[in-house]
């Protein structure tokens, strides 16, 4: 069973989705890729639950702690739904430490696919688990902020949150 609920974060509204196996979505509600992520999950229109599952409540609690600067990484069961290459990229994103950034090129090199920068960038851009799988930590070659499903302002705020003294 796939359940959804909303989460109102300080930087925008998210749609959380979970199955019995894990969290499958933490996506910006206004994202242009949102519909594609839902279709990849086999969902045409999410049915929002009025009674969030235990996993959704735990996800919201950990997001609250993250936004309160009390959590630097998430300890949630995650279920990736994507191509094998996308899942490989998303798994590598989990290795980017809190408070740091990485370029798309560096990410491609870490995956042993230095020539696949565009494919890596496309996989990062398809991440349905924003914040939980920290695609906001990926920046352009020159260190400038590049596209982000939640918008560049949200990306800037997330990076600022992570750089604040603890």
Residue, of 91 and 19, whose pLDDT is higher: 91
Task: Tell me which of 5, 26, 87, 135 is the catalytic residue.
Answer: 135
CA–CA dist 129, 108 (Å, integer): 19
Rounded Cα–Cα distance for residues 115 and 156 (Å)? 28
Lowest mean pLDDT among 47-56, 111-120, 137-146: 47-56
Residue 26 among the catalytic residues:
no
Mean pLDDT of 42-60: 77
> Rounded to the nearest 5°, which phi and psi values hold at 102?
-145, 150
* pTM, full prediction: 0.89
Q: How far apart are CA 113 and CA 106, in angstroms?
A: 10
Q: pLDDT tens digits, residue range 90-130?
A: 999 999 999 999 999 999 999 999 999 999 999 999 999 99
For residue 34, pLDDT beyond 90: no
Q: Which of 73, 76, 96 is nearest to 16 (CA)?
A: 76
Q: What are the phi and psi torsion angles at 163 (to 5°)? A: -95, -5
Polymer length of the chain: 166
């Amino acid at each position: 069973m796939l359940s959804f609920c909303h989460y109102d974060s300080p930087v925008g509204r998210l749609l959380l989705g979970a199955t019995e196996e894990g969290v499958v979505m933490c996506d910006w509600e206004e994202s242009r890729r949102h519909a594609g992520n839902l279709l990849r999950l086999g969902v045409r229109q999410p049915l929002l639950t009025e009674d969030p599952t235990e996993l959704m409540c735990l996800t919201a609690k950990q997001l609250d702690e993250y936004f309160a600067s009390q959590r630097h990484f998430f300890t949630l069961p995650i279920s990736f739904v994507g191509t094998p290459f996308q899942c490989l990229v998303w798994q590598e994103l989990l290795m980017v430490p809190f408070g740091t950034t990485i370029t798309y090129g560096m990410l491609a090199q870490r995956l042993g696919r230095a020539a696949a920068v565009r494919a890596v960038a496309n996989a990062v851009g398809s991440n349905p688990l924003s914040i939980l799988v920290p695609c906001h930590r990926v920046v352009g070659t020159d260190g400038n902020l590049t596209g982000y499903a939640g918008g560049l302002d949200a990306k800037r705020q997330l990076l600022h949150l992570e750089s604040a003294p603890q």
